[in-house]
Structure 1
Amino acid sequence: MPSSATDRPATSPTLWLARGRHRGPDAPATVRRTLRSLTDREIIDSHLEPSERVFEARWRVAGEVTVRARLAVDGQEWVLAAEAERPWDLRWPSPAAMFWPQDDAEADWETVLGLRLRDINPLPSDEKDLRRLLRSAARDSWAVHVVVHEAMTPDERGRRPLAALLPPGLAHRVVEHRAAPHQLRPVNWALRESGVQVPRGGAVVLPGDPAPDGWNAEDFAVRTVFLDGSEPTELLDALTRFAALPRPLPEDADAAVTALREDWHLLTLEEELARERQLVAMYAEALEAMTKSRDLYREAAERANEALAAYRDAVPPPDPGQQASPTPLQHLTRTFERLRGVTGNRRPAPHPDDGPAPE
């Protein structure tokens, strides 16, 4: 069974997170072209490349809600974190569509299994490979994996990917697996550890590891999926409900979220002024603390001087005509010096076997 969602902190409802792989020759160049094009067309408000292979962009959805997004590219792999000013609505455009061209499928590969993000992924025919793949998919905490069983081999209409029917906010976050008619038994055998089963001719949404709060296997299993070109309403509803569940932060996503929130460079004039005011307030507090520390040090020094003066007034000065008596330490030191002088002047007596003393 999936582990508890309390193992990692919960993902904020304002966040949109995804990662993938770009198989093209120059991913950063593709991102630059896309950002420039969308800025010229006023689809995004502005963009910035604060460092090599890091891109920032901001745009508005629903007319007034600002979205900030940060894409980091490492070789062929990319991680995208976006955050809106209010909880995310899956009807809003996918943040991935702001960085990658929609007619270019080079970036539509997920990183765990190397599968397509916006296309159908047939399950492998080898049962050992099938089990390995589904177990890895059931543990994935970044993408939403769904397994669809074909009751019979579909025609061209039935091979339409779910991505074309999903809300835009799910298009780059769902991995669709297809099981052939004869694969139902090995598929359910591979999924038994995850606590889910695929109904014959139906589908199931895999829970991920850890599973979201409120997840129940029966709530996300669809009895029938008609692969005849019609819209699979029940399955789309299950995917949408699953995406709305409070989910733990994906593994290794904390660095991307921290960078988005604390290392953001694409500021408006108002945000720059607010940041400067915050810095001024911080410096003022530090200066006040330093001044207070200096005053406390000065006060302590004055009190120490007063105490020393009072001590001197209380102890009478020694009489110049009276020789001060030695302290016990001085007595001991003088005794050692006398003993050392005596032993140093005494020569040892000659031993009878030593022979006569030299002339």
Structure 2
Amino acid sequence: MSNSAADHATVPQTLWAVRGRHTGPAPEDVVRRTLRRHKESGDIDDFAEPAAAGDLGLRVFEARWRAGGTVTVRARLTLVPPRDRLTGHEWRLVAEAERPWDDAWPSPATLFWPDGAADEDGDGSWDHHPAVLGLRFRHVNTLPEDDKEMRRRLRDAAREAWCVHVVVHEAMTPDERGRRPLARLLPPGLRHRVIEHRAAPQQLRGVNWALKDLGIEVPRGGAVLLPPDPAPDGYDGREHSVRNVFLDGSEPAELIAALRHFVALPRPLSQGAAEALADLRENWTLLTLREELEAQRRLVAMYAEALEAMTKSRDLYKEAAEQALEALAAYRDVPVPTLPQQRPGSRSPGALQQLTRTFERLRLPGRGRQPEPEHSGAAASADAPGTPDGAPDASGAPEEIVREGVGGTGRGDGKAS
């Protein structure tokens, strides 16, 4: 369990939020009938049923009215599909006013759900607690006889940040008037945000044992408010403890003062309530003509700012490109420096000799060949088959000339001249 509210947004003073559970069939029909009836009577200005974002089986209803005749209130109720047949539909209701909420204004819950002793939806009431079975708004919720079960119920209730839980101890067995719920004596703005837990006279020790983990205790014949989770900085449970609550049908003034002080605290906003409030502000569809005109003006202003930013960015890019082109042109106008030439006399003799040897190796094979011995050429000519008479031999001379050179005189008698 978290003990700090440092990382949580606080509840705005303009917000009225609560959630519950509807256990009967077709809760959307009940909401439609109730809203239609209030519009016909003038209690609300208008209502709508927009499509839910994401379409996860959610049903959304919006309503607008003027609290006190002048303060505009926008409210949004969301129906969540049931997890099973026993739990029913969970509903979340958030309403935001143009100025801080006044608990004398009508309860938003009674503008979406039927109020009174006999609800239109019969046994399937809308005022069940969404998380703790057996708890209901507008009712006296007696604490269990078993101390462990009592402790478990109060601990689970303290984790609920959408509503306010108050534990009332009966100093003595009340009469018929004292057994009625205190919610009917509260201002309309507090009536459907409070769940009353009632401890019998003999349960004082057990209930204080159950509240020990929360750091609070209920006075004999008094009441105490369960601290929020996470608790705000500087929270003191003694400020939300009432010494005496008279169960005689009279207005519980001290308890009402403690409740008003509690809801005015900078209490942490639960994650679910923060999401519901953001959905109300961002996805609101029930706009008046003036609001639509203002929304279009804001849209035009946003587009104008975006266009101005794009134009400024384009000018900056253009200026940067021009500077880059000027720098490139200036770079091209700079003459390229030539490398210094090496003098011929500066070459070393060793390098020149190396170059000469390289050219010697690359000379053609036919050039510079030494003449072969004569007898080798004659033998090659005599042994060469198929050489016609008078045809040049391999050395390029006619055969007769070769023979004369071999014999000395070229005559057939073999005598020397």
The TM tier, using the shorter chain, reads 0.7 to 0.9
2:247 maps to 227
2:10 maps to 10
Deviations 1:237-282 (A, max 9, x none): 3223322323221342111111111221111111111111111111
| CA-based RMSD | 2.1
- Is residue 130 of structure 2 the alignment partner of residue 111 of structure 1? yes
- Is residue 88 of structure 2 the alignment partner of residue 69 of structure 1? no
TM-aligned CA distance change 1:263 to 1:310, over 3 Å: same
Distance 1:109 1:215 in 2: 28
Say whether the 8 Å CA contact 1:137–1:208 is kept in structure 2: no
Deviations 1:270-326 (A, max 9, x none): 1111111111111111112222222222232233223222222224599xxxxxxxx
When structure 1 is superposed on structure 2, of 88-97 and 134-143 the one drifting more is 134-143
1:330-341 matches, cutoff 5 A: none
TM-score normalised to the size of structure 1?
0.83
Say whether the 8 Å CA contact 2:228–2:267 is kept in structure 1: no
More helix by share: 1
Q: 1:164 aligns with which of 184, 192, 200?
A: 184
When structure 1 is superposed on structure 2, of 168-177 and 108-117 the one drifting more is 108-117
Say whether the 8 Å CA contact 1:2–1:209 is kept in structure 2: yes
Distance 1:213 1:47 in 2: 39
When structure 1 is superposed on structure 2, of 57-66 and 236-245 the one drifting more is 236-245
TM-aligned CA distance change 1:212 to 1:95, over 3 Å: farther
Q: 1:194 aligns with which of 202, 214, 218?
A: 214
What SS class does the counterpart of residue 44 from structure 1 fall into?
A: coil
Q: Shift of residue 236 of structure 1?
A: 2.6
What SS class does the counterpart of residue 210 from structure 2 fall into?
A: helix
TM-score normalised to the size of structure 2?
0.72
Distance 2:115 2:185 in 1: 15
Segments of structure 2 that go 5 or more residues without pairing to the other structure are: 53-58, 82-88, 339-417
Say whether the 8 Å CA contact 1:141–1:251 is kept in structure 2: no
Say whether the 8 Å CA contact 1:108–1:118 is kept in structure 2: yes
1:56 partner amino acid: E
- Is residue 304 of structure 2 the alignment partner of residue 304 of structure 1? no
What SS class does the counterpart of residue 264 from structure 1 fall into?
A: coil
Say whether the 8 Å CA contact 2:8–2:269 is kept in structure 1: yes
Q: For this pair of structures, how many residues does the alignment match?
A: 318
What SS class does the counterpart of residue 325 from structure 2 fall into?
A: helix
Q: Shift of residue 205 of structure 1?
A: 1.4
Say whether the 8 Å CA contact 2:128–2:136 is kept in structure 1: yes
When structure 1 is superposed on structure 2, of 228-237 and 184-193 the one drifting more is 228-237
Q: Which has the larger radius of gyration?
A: 2
Q: Shift of residue 180 of structure 1?
A: 1.3
1:81 partner amino acid: V
Distance 1:310 1:65 in 2: 70
1:350 maps to none
Relative contact order, CA 8 A, sep 6+: which one is greater? Answer: 1
Q: Shift of residue 50 of structure 1?
A: 1.4
- Is residue 49 of structure 2 the alignment partner of residue 49 of structure 1? yes
When structure 1 is superposed on structure 2, of 173-182 and 135-144 the one drifting more is 135-144
1:1-359 matches, cutoff 5 A: 3-52=3-52, 53-75=59-81, 76-103=89-116, 104=119, 106-114=125-133, 115-212=135-232, 215-315=235-335
What SS class does the counterpart of residue 133 from structure 1 fall into?
A: helix
Report percent identity of matched pairs: 64
Say whether the 8 Å CA contact 2:71–2:98 is kept in structure 1: yes
TM-aligned CA distance change 1:118 to 1:212, over 3 Å: farther
Q: Shift of residue 42 of structure 1?
A: 1.2
Q: Shift of residue 214 of structure 1?
A: 5.5
Distance 1:116 1:213 in 2: 30
Distance 1:302 1:226 in 2: 85
